[in-house]
Amino acid sequence: MIDSTIRNPIVFVCLLLSHFIFAQNEKSLSLNEFIRIASNDALDAYKAKRQYATGYWEYRAHKSRLLPKMNLELAPFTFNRSFTERYDPEKNIDLYRPIRSLNSFGQISVEQNVLFSGAKVYVHSTFNRISSFLDDQTIENFSTTPLRIGITQPIMAFNALRWEKKTAELALQKAKNDYILQQQKLNVKSVGLFFKWALAQTKLKLANENHRSAINLHEIGVKRFPLGTIEKEDLLNLELETFITSTALTQASQNFQEIVAELEVFLNISDIQDYQPTLPELLPNMMIDLDKAISLAHANNPDLIHEEMKRINAQRDLDQTIKKNRFDLTLNASFGLNQQAEEFSELYSHLLNQQYVSIVLNLPLLDWGERKGNIQTARMNKEIADIEIRQNIDYLKQTLTQLVNNFNLQAKIVADASKTKSISLESYEISETRFLSGEVDLLRLITSRKSWQNAAEQYLISLQNFWEYYYQLQQMTLFNFIDDRLIEVDYDELID
């Protein structure tokens, strides 16, 4: 039978692969090390860093909008040669006359947004020079406004900057917590892949043991058949079992290689096949208090910060709609000094006052209920947003409650699964001994072996659930319950 196995190239390769994995490999990789590699090298980790940087620079842009801005505008050379329409007072008609001119313009300005009122205060300084080329002469003219101070103040209007400030700090905090949240999501994903890898390796190991055991039992059966201690039917079943386990070994090997390829992409490394997963232990006597978890989630979970931002934005949209559909009233005022001269040396002599004041009013008189409809729509949208926010908060609390309960119960489930695994293994070893002595039949042996292997798989699954529950709780609260501390990050390193 061994010769026939060697002649089957697929099974032979699987045997060599399993021998390499379980006999030659001495490297081990714990769950914590797996998570650390994923946090540092996985592409999802790089993505999370860039997402935080986006939020950080958006906040910096908001802070910049609150500071004065200085602008320089230059048009040093504007030449114009064309015909223009001019009125001839002697003939009382319009005529087209040729013009040739060279203009130069420059302006420097400083502007400041006023947060509490929505006004804009500005200081300008401008200079103009125009040269007109006539047939027999060139006429130059200069004008300047060395200083002009002004304000544009909307009256009872929507103040976008003030509403933006209400959410800017929340947005930055959400960006920070979102980064930690993405790291925790990466941890949960890492736990799933780690145990998927461990389960695939365990199944490959069991499939290898099953196939070797089937070969050995068939060889024993072949020797016992001439002695009359085994029936022909049992011998055929033993031979059939070698082919069944051979197929299972091939499938387990294929599944293992697929998972290894998935891990190499996820971890962004190429030598994962050199390692074996080391299963983590349970956290001894850890019970998470539900009230503490809910309090931490309310304080740290970025989804709740997002709900608060939604509430503020709904109020902003209502305020904007009400003021937009009422009237527009704007006050413009400025004071400055200006002068014009034909000689540059005379330009800044005897500067004249420049004053400007205007009030602009735009008031709809008849709109057939359009404004009222817009306002009512905004109010309904705000009420819908309030309901959705309440639903989302209640759902998060419900999810967190279920998660805490599952985690607190899972340790006992893992302990029971471990005992089941030990008992089923001992039962299988007894059944194998009794089968070799002829006390039990093949069906009893196969059933005992499947029970043991199912128990081994269920133990891995229950242990996976335990750690997934824990990291999901850490994800929802952004709190390290093992060390009893908030998860902290050096955000400055994320920007570099």
For residue 271, the domain's CATH number is: 1.20.1600.10
Which contiguous run of DSSP H or E holds residue 219? helix 160-224
CA 227 to chain centre: 70
Q: Domain for residue 431, yes or no?
A: yes
Cβ-contact 426, 452 below 8 angstroms: no
Which of 24-38, 250-264, 478-492 is predicted least confidently? 24-38
Coil, helix or strand at residue 282: coil
For 168-196, the pLDDT digits (tens) are 999 999 999 999 999 999 999 999 999 99
If asked whether residues 134 and 206 sit together in one domain, one would say: no
Mean pLDDT of 441-461: 87
If asked whether residues 54 and 73 sit together in one domain, one would say: no
Mean pLDDT of 142-167: 91
Q: Domain for residue 351, yes or no?
A: yes
Q: Domain for residue 368, yes or no?
A: no
Of 276, 195, 253, 256, the residue nearest 460 (C-alpha) = 195
Q: Cα–Cα distance between 122 and 120 in angstroms, integer?
A: 7
Tell me what percent of the residues of the chain surpass a pLDDT of 70.
Answer: 94
Tokens representing 424 are: 């089923």
Tokens representing 122 are: 């500005």
CA 215 to chain centre: 52
Q: Cα–Cα distance between 316 and 163 in angstroms, integer?
A: 6
Residue position matching structure tokens 């929505």 = 118
Residue 10 has pLDDT above 50, yes or no: no
If asked whether residues 147 and 215 sit together in one domain, one would say: no
State the greatest distance between any 2 C-alpha atoms of the chain, in Å, as a whole number: 141
For 25-53, the pLDDT digits (tens) are 458 889 999 999 888 878 888 888 898 99
Q: Cα–Cα distance between 153 and 175 in angstroms, integer?
A: 34
Q: What is the per-residue pLDDT for 354?
A: 87
For 257-295, the pLDDT digits (tens) are 999 999 988 888 878 888 889 998 887 788 999 999 999
Mean pLDDT of 449-465: 91
Q: Domain for residue 205, yes or no?
A: yes
Q: What is the per-residue pLDDT for 105?
A: 93
- The Cα-based distances of 40 to 49, 82, 456, 476, 480 in angstroms read 11, 67, 32, 21, 19
Q: How many CB atoms lie within 10 A of CB 232?
A: 8
Q: Cα–Cα distance between 310 and 315 in angstroms, integer?
A: 9
Q: Domain for residue 370, yes or no?
A: no
Coil, helix or strand at residue 68: coil
Q: What letter would DSSP give residue 231?
A: -
If asked whether residues 40 and 22 sit together in one domain, one would say: yes
Q: Cα–Cα distance between 144 and 354 in angstroms, integer?
A: 11
Which contiguous run of DSSP H or E holds residue 486? strand 485-486
Q: What is the per-residue pLDDT for 288?
A: 93
Q: Cα–Cα distance between 180 and 302 in angstroms, integer?
A: 9
Residue 340 has pLDDT above 70, yes or no: yes
If asked whether residues 463 and 406 sit together in one domain, one would say: yes
Q: Domain for residue 315, yes or no?
A: no
Cβ-contact 477, 404 below 8 angstroms: no
For 195-245, the pLDDT digits (tens) are 999 999 999 998 998 899 889 888 888 887 787 777 788 788 888 989 998
Q: Domain for residue 380, yes or no?
A: no
Tokens representing 210 are: 């099953």
Select the more confidently predicted residue: 127 or 81: 127
If asked whether residues 133 and 79 sit together in one domain, one would say: yes
pTM of the predicted structure, to 2 decimals: 0.76
Mean pLDDT of 110-115: 92
Of 391, 58, 291, 42, the residue nearest 182 (C-alpha) = 42
Residues pairing with 145 in the sheet: 126
Mean pLDDT of 308-328: 88
Coil, helix or strand at residue 152: strand
Residue 390 has pLDDT above 80, yes or no: yes
Domains in the chain: how many in total?
A: 2
If asked whether residues 22 and 100 sit together in one domain, one would say: no
Q: Domain for residue 199, yes or no?
A: yes
If asked whether residues 194 and 303 sit together in one domain, one would say: yes
| Mean residue pLDDT across the chain | 86
If asked whether residues 403 and 273 sit together in one domain, one would say: yes
Coil, helix or strand at residue 275: strand
Strand 138-154 and strand 485-486: the pairing is: unpaired
If asked whether residues 247 and 332 sit together in one domain, one would say: no
Q: Cα–Cα distance between 108 and 71 in angstroms, integer?
A: 6
- Residue ranges making up the domain that contains 84: 69-114+119-156+328-363
If asked whether residues 179 and 280 sit together in one domain, one would say: yes
Of 335, 336, 340, the residue nearest 127 (C-alpha) = 340
If asked whether residues 86 and 233 sit together in one domain, one would say: no
What single-letter amino acid sits at 234?
A: D
Q: What is the per-residue pLDDT for 492?
A: 84
